[in-house]
Structure 1
Amino acid sequence: MTLPSRPGLEAVPAYRQGRSAPEGASKLSSNESPHPPLPAVVRAVQERLGTINRYPDMSAAALRDDLAARYDVDPALVTVGAGSVELAAQLIHAVAGEGDEVIFAWRSFEAYPSLVRIAGATPVAVPLTAEHAHDLDAMLAAITPRTRAIFVCNPNNPTGTVVGAADLERFVAAVPRDVLVVIDEAYVHFDRTDSFGAGIELFRRHPHVAVLHTFSKAYGLAGLRVGYAISPREVAENQRKVAVPFGVTDLAQVAARASLAAEEELAARIDEVVAQRDRLHDLLTDAGWPAVPSQANFVWVAAGERTEELEALLRDGGVITRAFPGEGVRISSGSVDDIDRVAAALVREAVTA
């Protein structure tokens, strides 16, 4: 007996999580925060443990109110999901279906093509420039009457490059108003360029922009899975229709609210991650590896045919990274000790070369 299988799923690869690290090694494969949760966040979660027999507020009203106040928008325009990846799925399902197209840069967030195919739409991947950045002119040229959405991952995962605020403004203005531009700012807190905060400002000025943020990276809540989108009203309404019911747990909601109230403490942690990111970049370039300047919490090394060599070198030095065969290695910014371990591995290579 052969069980039914949905046509087209053979083209959808399973999402590949960053490799786990053995005892004593540094896990720099998943862009996680190297810091433990803030004490205030831990307390907020602990105080709610006694009510986990109850369903969460499916609308996440309190969290949405906090976010709406933060960005001075109507709470009806704020949607929540289990991380920005689930919100990306919501947006795709809200605007695209069979026969439609969704454009994104490539390489970019690896879930984009799978999410588009799962929605029944067609992914349109536009190659990055030689500088590993979005090719905005090529993305505009890829728009057809079937295009329903365009994703701009800014800063881009896995390359860490950004689209500057002025260039992003020109791009959004050139996209037809019946095409949704999704600015995925999962790593925005680590951006030290003029593109920081550009997504929200573009949302205010253009009727066809949605913005994605997550609590998984800078806020250190990767294990609780919570993110949010700010979208045009009709899009937000449709997102709620396609969202998984009760997808954001009560614990995730209270942790997110506590994190929003502790941003001064978080800012110091973010500054440390940025400092170690820049140190990581310099260590790699000094060792002769083609590291790309990054505005995220990781560094991309465009190692090409030497990708496996670099991954093995770091693995032998106790550092677990994310390798994309034949393309490069993405190394998360970790603690001082983590980056010390990267430095030691690179020194060993220089000594043995």
Structure 2
Amino acid sequence: MYEGERSLYVVGEGGGHLYAGRKNTDVCAYRTLELEEANYAFSFMYHSEGRNMGSAAYTKDYLQVYLVPVTSMDDDGNPIYENGIDISGKLYGKEDWTLYTGQAKVPTAGYYNLVFRWQNALISAYGTPKYLPAAVDSITVKEVSCMPVAEIMADSIAYSSATVRWSSDNRKQTIYEYAVIKDGDTFDGSSADLESTTENSVRLEGLTPNTAYRIYVRTFCDNVVYTDWVNTLFETPCYIDTIDLEHSFADDFEAYSNSDLDCWRQYSTLYSGVYWGCANDNVYSGTQVLYLRKHTSTMTENNTAWMLRDVYLKPGLNYQVTFYAKQDKSVNNGTGIAVAIGDADATDE
């Protein structure tokens, strides 16, 4: 148990807190609540283990919490989950006691079952070794007057702007406060960094191209109650250079690494082990040079490895492309370097 003298737990082998997976198990415990049409906050302590502790990718053993109308029961007296509100989603892989907090809107006043569901998959008919299932303690349900935003997402993302949208179930007078920071920077909720809106979206301007941002949004209801912050991550694309009289990409390679070619993207055919990377020896100028790399010592197939970047070319102008290149003498005669300009909207690169 987490606190007190009792907790709710899944009983398996011999009445103990273990199971061997000899059957596909779906078991629930529920309690009936009378709820108003309102927003509610849910919290409880839980652990939910199953086979997940030995295999992180295995997610068929889980705990899940619902609110199901009391009228939605099957012939065996079990709640019909599909007709209820999914409170928690699937909870798994928690060996120690863990706090869950969440919110939900009850659409119609009435009686609901608060359901704790345990599901584990069949391992084998002989089912060894034994595993720990789930336990729950310290459950609280309370009506709340102000709900955090939900379904927050960024769209219409350009190199210096983006639109962020969210949904809200609050019926009260609501203001949304938000802050935008570069991903990785520290956000402490300081009022000096905050802006506000009464809409369910905001258009962000003046962003830096090719940069990851995180936006934090919270709800302020009736000029009294603040909710917790909700955030989402988005990234602006690279600026598309306009090529007119002269344009140099020479400085680009100085800040690149083998794992990050910044605004250039890679495309390879046939043999995916060949790619472009950066090195700081045998350079022509600056401190780094771009060169073709391969993961293995032997090239076994024909391959084309492109490095691409979008640019804007003005109509009616003639363009000349200049670059410096060299090729190892040991490379066979079928290997070479070429430059091409194509339509950025073309599907076949």
Classify the TM-score, shorter chain: under 0.3
Whose helix proportion is higher, 1 or 2? 1
TM-score (norm 2): 0.20
Q: Which has the larger radius of gyration?
A: 2
- Higher strand fraction: Structure 1 or Structure 2? 2
Q: Which has the higher contact order (CA 8 A, sep 6+)?
A: 1
